[in-house]
Chain A
Amino acid sequence: MFAYIVRRLALMLVTLIGISIIIFVLLRVVPGNIVDILFDAAGFVDPTDKANLEKELGLNLPIYQQYLNWIGGLLHGDLGYSYVSEKPALQEILPRIPITARLAALALLFSASIGIPLGVLSAVHQGSRLDYALRVVSLSGLSLPSFWLGLLILMASVSLFGSMPIYNPNPKTWTEALAIYAVPAMAVGFRSAALTMRITRSSMLEILRQDYIRTARAKGASEASVNYRHALKNAILPVITVIGIEAAFLIGGLIVTETVFNIPGVARFLVEALRWRDYPIVQNLVMLIAVVVVVANFTVDMLYAAIDPRIRYGD
């Protein structure tokens, strides 16, 4: 097990170095930089001003030098300065992390707490009206883009309640505080919940047909015990895999949701930084996301062993 963990950690490091090179090079392959964008607003390019600005921002250096400067800074905890706000990148990124983390955690919680029980219900009542209804719900969740769902929610709240749950850094009541996170979390988590529901259902259906389930029933175990103690425990493994993958994919959904609900989180900030070609922000944010994804995958793999005693790493 120990050898496996060390091997995985080494692999994580290699992956992160690879990602850092890819993102660094890709950013510079994309046409235009911050200087072009600043001059774009002015409607013309002054070559002298442009050269001065590129020099000031270090964009005139060879690309390998820029990369080494960035990685060197990163290792010393210096993430550089945002080209746009001229503030330290860390100062720009840090306050946004808890906002997105809260939203992502709520979305995952919503996804698991809705998706798993409904998936079990759907499997246990296979072929019933309830099963059909839940399958329609899960298909809708997979089909509805989260931005559209978000807008629908906003329009509905304006038309029904005359207000809308867009972000407010200083909510006046706890209900407002809950609404500004919970509603977008539901919008972005609906797709995940639908996927979780489907995976739970199919996994449960497979398990419910196993011999040991029949044995459990034969020895007089209650339906609840059969479904939740015997079946779900064994059906949950692929569900955890999916939730782990969804956690990684969530960032894509969050970009749209943060934009629609005007939440100043990391995901929307990343898109804005990309638009401005704010390299220090984009590079560091992508690295942060990469670390989160790699660690999430690692955690899921470790969870396998904890949940399923049959799995042993490194044997």
Chain B
Amino acid sequence: MRSVRALAAAALLLLPAYDVASAGEPKQGGILRVYHRDSPGSASIHEGATYSINVPFMPVFNNLVMFKQDVAQNSVESIVPDLAESWAWSSDNKKLTFKLRQGVKWHDGKPFTSADVKCTFDMLMGKSQQKFRQNPRKSWYDQVNEVTVNGDFEASFELKRPQPALLSLLASGYTPVYPCHVSPAEMRTKPVGTGPFKFVEFKANESIKLTKNPDYFKKGLPHLDGIEFTIIPNRSTAILGFVSGKFDMTFPTEVSIPLLKDVKAQAPNAVCVVEPVNVSTNIIVNSSSPPFDNIDIRRALALALDRKAFISILFEGQADIGGTMLPAPGGLWAMPKEMLESIPGYGPDINANREEARKLMQKAGYGPDKHLSVKVSTRNIPVYRDPAVILIDQMKNIYIDGELDVVDTAQWFPKVARKDYTLGLNLTGNAVDDPDQSFYENYSCGSERNYTNYCNKEIEKLFDQQSAETDKEKRKKLVWEIDKKLQEDVARPIIFHARQGSCWHPYVKGITIMVNSSYNGYRYEDVWMDK
């Protein structure tokens, strides 16, 4: 076994993203008041698939490791110990061993041991008797054979093959360690963790309250006495509440670009940032039935896109163009600009692209006198609906008449799963900026989230190859190659990667908004208030 990383040293090399937020000696006390955008379905992070759960409940827990909270870009280099003191890969890179902290207690006073680690991951892998009601990230652990323990303070992940990305998956806000002695049902309503804040109450549609954990194992933390989330689904009311000082902070990455202008106008001292959220807006094409079983029509569709128009209309220019992986500088795995622009449809000359698209449409039997009529299905939510309307407008340029088909949220994924759509507009969020999470979930043959049923065995081999590659530079090149191929195959044309705003009052210190994921930065243990 060889030690791979001296973590503390690496962490020192990383610069905090917002010096303004971390200046001065932290003051103790105060309740951080944040509005929450909606009422989460439960308090159990493992059973949820929305950051509406992570934001209020991540402070209740700890992971084995986590992304350093004051570094905006999540990467392997920014991973620091949490419940683990250290970790090491075996020489064949098939075993990842964690030495665990001793003396850590759950909020109910019971001791934390390696059994809790095993319990958590056995449940996530579907190997334990107790089951989660939902287990949306089971596939993250497909390469884990078994979690073993050696005494009370050592746990190991035995892998089927090397998978360097596992460490990043374990560092996500989506991967807290749960207590063995608390049932999944209780964790949905009264979560027990080891984290800097203890759960106090969750009143659906009203509020979520957390209080300081005085026995937190990280000495001197947290600085705050507590955090209160007031649930305000109405955006206008929420923003007015922030402006009037009722809240210290907006819900993270929830302020749209136009609203941000209002905030800055009414609260000029507020600190506001606009960052990528690693959520792509993309087109899902049902290639199993006409007319999009014809690759020419799919290619024409990809060529018709004017991505800059989407971005300027919806984000006043503040969003990014890229492939599957989040574009640079936020994203770690983005294709170089020249490579991206060499992909059909990504070139700067939109007219030339559309001319080529029209030729492909004519080849398929359509033209000025014979338009193709399709329904563009999407969820009845503005972030889905608005780009769908622009897409319909752009498709007119290549003889496609689109009709908007808005689908109730409850019906959206069942409809997509049934393949009961021709063309759809979808949003895909990535919890971790790592190709393993994105490629396997969205493009591998048979994956539940591979809505288009895209299946390319050659690419699948490349997925595995990059996943097992321990040399980061080599892996990056493989990822670029895969991403390029996915776009050329029109597997799921990516329109843009969104950016969103977050604001807080200047007295709130220690807030860092992550730039390549909106799921991992809410431990709030080092947040404090200068008042």
- Interfacial residues, chain A to chain B (CB-CB below 8 A): 31-33, 36-46, 49, 52-53, 56, 82, 84-87, 92, 151, 154-155, 157-159, 162-164, 166, 169, 259-262, 264, 268-269, 272, 275-277
Contact = CB atoms under 8 A, between A and B. Distances in A.
Interface stretch (B100-108, B230-238, B354-362, B479-487): B230-238
B6 interface: no
Contacts of A261: 237
A31 B413 contact: no
Given A42-B49, A45-B413, A262 B230 contact: yes
A53 B417 contact: no
Given A39-B414, A45-B417, 9 more contacts: A37-B410, A38-B41, A40-B409, A40-B410, A44-B413, A49-B133, A82-B204, A262-B241, A272-B233
Contacts of B231: 262
Interface centre among B41, B185, B409, B428 (most CB of A within 10 A): B41
Contact of B205 (A46, A159, A272): A272
B240 A41 contact: no
B448 A46 contact: yes
A263 B231 CA distance: 10
B39 interface: yes
B245 interface: yes
B413 A264 contact: no
B135 interface: yes
Given A36-B413, A262-B234, A163 B246 contact: yes
B244 A164 contact: yes
A33 B408 CA distance: 11
Given A36-B414, A38-B134, A272-B39, A154 B189 contact: no
Interface string B28-53: 00000000000101100000111000
A293 B427 CA distance: 43
Nearest to B426: A43
Contacts of A158: 240, 243-244, 266
Nearest to B185: A86
A85 B189 contact: yes
Nearest to B243: A158
Interface residues of B, number: 45
B134 A49 contact: yes
A264 B206 contact: yes
B102 to A, nearest CB: 35
Given A264-B203, A277-B410, A151 B134 contact: no
Contact of B411 (A32, A41, A157, A268): A32
A155 B241 CA distance: 10
21 contacts: A32-B409, A32-B410, A32-B411, A40-B410, A41-B50, A42-B134, A42-B136, A43-B49, A45-B413, A45-B414, A46-B135, A52-B131, A85-B204, A86-B185, A151-B236, A157-B244, A158-B240, A169-B207, A259-B234, A260-B236, A272-B39
Contacts of A44: 136, 413, 417, 448-449
Contacts of B39: 84, 272
A309 to B, nearest CB: 48
Given A41-B48, A162-B244, A164-B246, A154 B237 contact: yes
Interface in B368-412: 408-412
A36 B232 contact: no
A264 to B, nearest CB: 4
B188 interface: yes
A277 B409 CA distance: 11
A94 B351 CA distance: 62
Contacts of B204: 82, 84-85, 92, 269, 272
Contacts of B185: 86
A43 B449 contact: yes
